[in-house]
């Protein structure tokens, strides 16, 4: 019976495959063609123009710096949150619910929230003025204060993007039976050893997923940066946006898009290699 | 090596009292089972001894020293978990070595101890493998080897065989007994399986609703249950309980009446092990109506009633009794347990 109907599974997944092919693969191919062609003939002109652009190196540097600063902090915070909430009995669900609120906020809205805090007439300056720490409104987000601007963007990104890492880590921690930690405790492992030698190796799959997802998203950072720094802090997606909308140059915008994709793929491959998940060594 | 004194341990979870003043002394090198149905508090008690759970009140002494408040690692014990808790990301060797590594033992000692423990449990050939490549029985061996490798003063085992299939369980049971006998470690073994407890233990503590109902050797607990619960929980088939009237200090049982215990009132419960009877002709014996007779090969199992109360008795397979027969039974007065109908507790018999 089942052999005669072997086409049914294919039929059932056809809509999703067709949908993705239409709305993902076709634009992908178009984008790549757009990036590497000029007037209908293959050409490196767009890529060359992108690399010669004044903001190119800065945007790459900014994007990487931000990713390197934000992702490890997010991972550490998420691990701390996940470990702490595991100890909580009653109210655990409520705490998780509150912690995941940033997930429900769009990145632009998050950027605007932090803008209202950090702009010259924002809450942060009001607080500092009220406490008498500063004499007059300080500027945190201008091109004259690049370090403060970087910190502001990093903090906003950490606030906004840690929840998703935490959700994945908590799911991973839930997969580890408490007996593993208890056995380690019985045999003399302290809290720190239990965390490094038992918990962390056992949540490798969750760590891998969280890192890949979060890193790829970090390379695509845009709205928070745009809201807080505008063009004072160029990042890769911001440049693609500018070439597309301000300069109306779709070819260079496509070149940026392809570059972001290559970086993301490379990062994913590095994680897959670096954090190998051997199903044989999992619970 | 150490003895363990459990002194009036209480444990409440909210309003639920999991343990109600449990006291128990386990001698140096003794194997004691905590036996009881699920929810009786046996695992909670074990976890309190281990230091994984905090008692509401009471004390635990290991080797004469109070360990309440000490973390597990300072209690000198090892534990085998129900789901093995063998670390999947470490080889069998590293699993067995784990406790020694935590004690910062040098490599030579680690190697010697691991090999010794692996030899005892016959897992030498798996030392390089990861636990997921092993069967349940092999993983359990690794868990036991890991516990023995640290040469603990006290070994705690939480239903270690319950995840194995019946055949393997029997095999592991025998092997555990051999291994632990040679190790001579004080062992507390939690189980709900009475045959496991009977087969392995020096003494059994039968627990029920957060209370230790009886502590004794397997034979003692089997033959002389202190309460109705113990008699019903231990033995297969369980002990029969027949409520019988007492007239002039005697209980009618065929032509030879039994002497009722002194403190019995108008009624008493006669606790009777299924095999503590002999076939006797009527009206000499006590009358039993046989509803079903099941020849089991090694014995004959009869289900029916005495005084209209359900009973199960066991006769040698050489006897011929059929379903529907009415037979007479001679009871062995020395193997009768008298129980109070009110409290369910045993009443001492009148010794001649």
| Tokens describing residue B242 | 């027949």
pLDDT band for position A142 (cuts 50, 70, 90): confident
- Rounded Cα distance, B148 and B127, in Å: 15
Contacts of B276 (CB under 8 A, 6+ apart): B331, B332, B335, B336
Q: Where are the domains of chain B?
A: 4-228, 239-347
CATH fit for domain B4-228, picks 3.40.718.10, 3.10.350.10, 3.40.50.300, 3.40.50.970: 3.40.50.300
- Rounded Cα distance, B14 and B333, in Å: 47
Calculate how close chain A gets to B45, using CA atoms only, in Å.
15
Cα separations in angstroms, B250 against A106, A152, A229, B220, B267:
87, 93, 100, 26, 10
Is B73 within 8 Å of A189 when comparing Cβ atoms?
Answer: yes
State whether residue B127 sits within 8 Å of chain A by CB.
Answer: no
Burial A218-252 (b: 16+ CB within 10 A, else e): bbbbbbbbbbbbeeebbbbbbbbbbbbeeeebebb
The answer to whether the CB of B275 falls within 8 A of the CB of B317 is no
pLDDT confidence of residue B241: 95
- Rounded Cα distance, B70 and A232, in Å: 58
Q: B185, B210, B191, B181: which is closest to B62 by C-alpha?
A: B185
Nearest to A183 among B81, B103, B150 (CB): B81
CATH fit for domain B239-347, picks 2.40.50.220, 2.40.50.140, 3.50.4.10, 3.40.50.1820: 2.40.50.140
How would you classify the pairing of strands A37-38 and B267-272? unpaired
pLDDT confidence of residue B255: 79
Is B50 within 8 Å of A198 when comparing Cβ atoms?
Answer: no
pLDDT confidence of residue B307: 92
Residue A1 has pLDDT above 70, yes or no: no
Is A187 within 8 Å of B133 when comparing Cβ atoms?
Answer: no
What kind and span of H or E run contains B323? none
Calculate how close chain A gets to B131, using CA atoms only, in Å.
8
Q: What is the DSSP letter of B343?
A: T
What is the number of other CB atoms lying within 10 angstroms of the CB of residue B302? 27
pLDDT confidence of residue B316: 94
Residue A218 has pLDDT above 90, yes or no: yes
Is A188 within 8 Å of B52 when comparing Cβ atoms?
Answer: no
The answer to whether the CB of B312 falls within 8 A of the CB of B274 is yes
Q: Where are the domains of chain A?
A: 20-281
pLDDT confidence of residue B109: 94
**Which residues on B lie below 8 Å from A176 (Cβ)?**
none
pLDDT confidence of residue A87: 83
Interface test with B, best of A183, A203, A279 (most B CBs within 10 A): A183
Low-confidence ranges of chain B (pLDDT < 50): none
pLDDT band for position A2 (cuts 50, 70, 90): low
A222-237 mean pLDDT: 90
Residues 59-78 of B with CB under 8 A from A: 71-73, 77-78
CATH class of A20-281: mainly alpha
The percentage of chain A sitting over the pLDDT mark of 90, rounded to a whole number, equals 65
**Which residues on B lie below 8 Å from A87 (Cβ)?**
none
State whether residue B89 sits within 8 Å of chain A by CB.
Answer: yes
- Rounded Cα distance, B115 and B345, in Å: 50
Angle, CA B248 vertex, CA B245 and CA B251 arms, to 5°: 40
What is the number of other CB atoms lying within 10 angstroms of the CB of residue B342? 9
A262-270 mean pLDDT: 94
Residue A225 has pLDDT above 80, yes or no: yes
User: For A28-82, what is each residue's pLDDT tens digit?
Assistant: 999 999 999 988 888 899 999 999 998 999 999 999 999 999 999 999 999 999 9
């Amino acid at each position: 019976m089942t052999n005669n109907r072997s086409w049914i599974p294919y039929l059932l997944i056809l809509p999703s495959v067709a949908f993705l092919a239409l709305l993902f693969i076709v634009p992908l191919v178009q984008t790549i063609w757009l990036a590497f062609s000029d007037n209908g003939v293959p050409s490196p002109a767009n890529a060359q123009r992108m690399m010669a652009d004044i903001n190119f190196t800065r945007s790459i540097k900014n994007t990487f710096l931000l990713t390197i600063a934000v992702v490890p902090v997010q991972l550490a915070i998420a691990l701390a949150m996940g470990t702490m909430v595991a100890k909580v009995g009653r109210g655990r669900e409520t705490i998780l619910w509150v912690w995941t609120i940033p997930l429900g906020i769009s990145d632009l809205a998050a950027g605007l929230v932090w803008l209202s805090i950090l702009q010259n007439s924002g809450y942060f300056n009001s607080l500092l003025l009220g406490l008498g720490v500063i004499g007059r409104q300080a500027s945190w987000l201008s091109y004259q204060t690049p370090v403060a601007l970087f910190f502001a963007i990093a903090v906003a990104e950490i606030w906004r993007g840690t929840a998703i890492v935490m959700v994945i880590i908590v799911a991973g921690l839930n997969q580890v039976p408490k007996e593993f930690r208890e056995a380690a405790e019985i045999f003399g492992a302290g809290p720190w050893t239990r965390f490094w030698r038992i918990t962390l190796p056992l949540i490798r799959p969750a760590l891998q997923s969280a890192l890949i997802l979060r890193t790829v998203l970090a390379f695509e950072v845009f709205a928070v940066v745009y809201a807080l720094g505008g063009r004072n802090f160029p990042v890769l997606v911001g440049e693609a946006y500018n070439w597309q909308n301000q300069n109306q140059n779709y070819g260079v915008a496509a070149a940026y898009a392809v570059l972001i994709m290559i970086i993301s793929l490379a990062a994913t491959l590095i994680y897959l290699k670096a954090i190998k998940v051997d199903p044989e060594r999992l619970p | 090596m150490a003895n363990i004194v459990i002194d009036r341990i209480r444990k409440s979870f909210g309003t639920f009292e999991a343990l109600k003043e449990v006291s128990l002394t386990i001698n140096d090198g003794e194997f004691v089972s905590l036996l009881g149905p699920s929810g009786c508090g046996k695992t909670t008690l074990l976890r309190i001894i281990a230091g994984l759970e905090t008692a509401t009140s009471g004390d635990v002494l290991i080797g004469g020293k109070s360990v309440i408040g000490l973390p597990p690692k300072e209690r000198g014990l090892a534990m085998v978990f129900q789901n093995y808790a063998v670390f999947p990301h470490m080889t069998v060797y590293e699993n067995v070595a784990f406790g020694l590594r935590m004690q910062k033992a040098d490599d030579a000692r680690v190697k010697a101890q691991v090999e010794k423990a692996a030899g005892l449990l016959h897992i030498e050939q798996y030392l390089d493998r990861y636990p997921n490549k092993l069967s349940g029985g092999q993983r359990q061996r690794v868990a036991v080897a890991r516990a023995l490798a640290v040469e603990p003063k006290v070994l705690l085992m939480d239903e270690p065989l319950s995840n194995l299939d019946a055949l393997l369980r029997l095999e592991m049971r025998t092997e555990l007994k051999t291994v632990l006998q040679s190790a001579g470690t004080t062992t507390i073994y939690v189980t709900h399986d009475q045959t496991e407890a009977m087969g392995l233990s020096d003494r059994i503590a039968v627990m029920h609703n957060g209370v230790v109902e009886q502590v004794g050797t397997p034979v003692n607990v089997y033959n002389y249950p202190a309460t109705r619960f113990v008699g019903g929980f231990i033995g297969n088939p369980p002990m029969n309980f027949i409520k019988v009237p007492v007239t002039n200090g005697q209980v009618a049982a065929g032509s030879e009446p039994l002497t009722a215990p002194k403190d019995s009132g108008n009624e008493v419960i006669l606790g009777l092990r299924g095999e503590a009877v002999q076939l006797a002709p009527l009206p000499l014996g006590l009358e039993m109506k046989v509803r079903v007779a099941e020849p089991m090969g090694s014995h004959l199992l009869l289900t029916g009633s005495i005084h209209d109360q359900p009973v199960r008795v066991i006769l040698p397979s050489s006897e011929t009794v059929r379903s529907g027969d009415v037979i007479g039974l001679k009871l062995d007065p020395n193997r009768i347990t008298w129980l109070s109908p009110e409290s369910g507790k045993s009443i001492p018999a009148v010794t001649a």
